[in-house]
Amino acid sequence: MVVAAFTWTEFAQQLAAGIREGAIYAGLALAIVIIYRSTRVINFAQGEMATFTTFIAWSLMNHGLSFWTAFPIVLAIAFTGGVAIERIVIRPVEDAPVLTIVIVTLGLALLLNGLTSVIWGGANRQFHGPFSTRTIDVAGVPVSVQDIGIVLVSIGLVAVLALFFRFTKVGLALRAAAVNPDSSRLVGIRVGWTFALGWGIAAVLGAVAGMMIAPVVFLDPNMMQTILLYAFAAAVLGGLDSPLGAVVGGILLGVTITLLGRYVGFLGSTLKLPAALMLIFIVLLVRPSGLFGRVAVRRV
């Protein structure tokens, strides 16, 4: 076993890299949780939706738009696309058994993946992100501006969503419809539309994750597949029902994987994924509903 020489500076660097990884997982995990909470559906197309919208961003930038001009346009397209997918593809099978809907989302993933390849080709593409890759000194630790940017954008997005769900009428309606659709209808909420809105929000989260990670990993039609796997793991770790859990789970997973890969010599980059999943498995043995999974408080 090779034991790497340990320095605190390097540890802090690895930690920063882990948090950046985790921020991406957290965004995608949050998208999965938002859809799961309202419709009990695991959206397997989440990754391909993100890739597709990232390619749209790439095209816009290829036509001369700057990243920050393309960014809101892509978010709008993602939102509209997410709502449309729910209305057109998911709605007709809404009352079908969950397995049917899962298969539909798998089909959707394949469809979007194929569509991406047809439109943009299968090759790797360089995606120029908004942040510089040079490093700056943060309390004696060199951290890349890109990593800081990715984390800040993710935090910002999560904060905006948290405020939206907590303080706006529509956000409250989304939460209400997710926990109790029948009562929601009785207060006048159009529950079907809240589901569509949830898909729209999830698509936006995916688009942001895609545009943040593409500069790090190169853009290709299968870019999000491994990341989606990590995001699923993060969502389950946090508790599939809990938005906070998704975010915490994502960061924890990113940090764990990065540190395992670096410091547990025999794991390296090939075994760090199974090792991380093993850890999650152990956590779930102790807490089957995840770290933040709902423990219902009810008095009758």
Partner 1 sequence: MSLLELHGVEARYGPVKALHGVSLQVADGEMVAVLGANGAGKTTTLRAISGTVRRSGEVVFAGKKLSRRPDSTARAGIAHVPEGRGTFGELSVWENLRLGAYTRRVNLKQEAQRVYKFFPRLEERRDQQAGTLSGGEQQMLALGRAMMARPKLLLLDEPSLGLAPIVVGQIFAVLERMKSDEGISVLVVEQNASLALAHAARAYVLEVGNVVVEGTSDELRANEAVRKSYLGY
Q: Under the rule (CB under 8 A), what is the footprint of partner 1?
A: 169, 172-173, 175-176, 179-180, 182-191, 294, 296-300
3-class secondary structure, 125: strand
Residue 299 CA to residue 48 CA, distance in Å, equals 43
What CA–CA distance (Å, rounded) separates 22 from 247? Answer: 8
From the list 89, 67, 78, 44, the residue with the least C-alpha distance to 205 is: 78
Of 84 and 172, the one with the shorter C-beta distance to partner 1 is 172
Minimum distance between the CB of residue 296 and partner 1, rounded to whole angstroms? 7
Closer CB to partner 1, residue 183 or residue 226? 183
Identify which of residues 77 and 173 has a Cβ nearer to partner 1 in the complex: 173
Go through 72-102 and write b for each residue having 16 or more CB atoms within 10 A of its CB, e for each that does not: eebbebbbebbbebbeebbeeeeeeeeeebe
Shortest approach of partner 1 to residue 289 CB, angstroms? 14
Handedness of CA 176, 177, 183, 184 (dihedral sign): positive
* Pair 223, 217: CB distance under 8 Å: yes
> Whose Cβ is closer to partner 1: residue 59's or residue 180's?
180
Taking the complex as a whole, the smallest distance from the CB of residue 169 to partner 1 amounts, in Å, to: 7
Q: How far apart are the first and last CA of the chain?
A: 58
- Smallest distance from partner 1 to CB 71, Å: 32
Instruction: Give the separation between CA 93 and CA 179, rounded to whole angstroms.
Output: 20
In angstroms, give the least distance from the CB of 85 to partner 1.
22
Both tokens of 236, joined, read: 């389950």
- In the bound state with partner 1, the residue whose beta carbon lies nearer, of 54 and 184, is 184
Task: Name the CA radius of gyration of the chain, rounded.
Answer: 20
Helix axes 191-217, 67-85, angle to 10 degrees: 140
Which of 202, 197, 162, 157 shows the shortest CA–CA distance to 50? Answer: 202
The residue among 87 and 125 lying less far from partner 1, judged by its C-beta, is 87
For partner 1, the closer CB: 46 or 242: 242
Closest CB 245 distance from partner 1, rounded Å:
15
> Hey, what are 295's tokens?
């423990």
User: What number of other Cβ atoms are within 10 A of residue 228's Cβ?
Assistant: 27
What minimum distance in Å lies between the beta carbon of 288 and partner 1? 19
Between 2 and 187, CB nearer to partner 1: 187
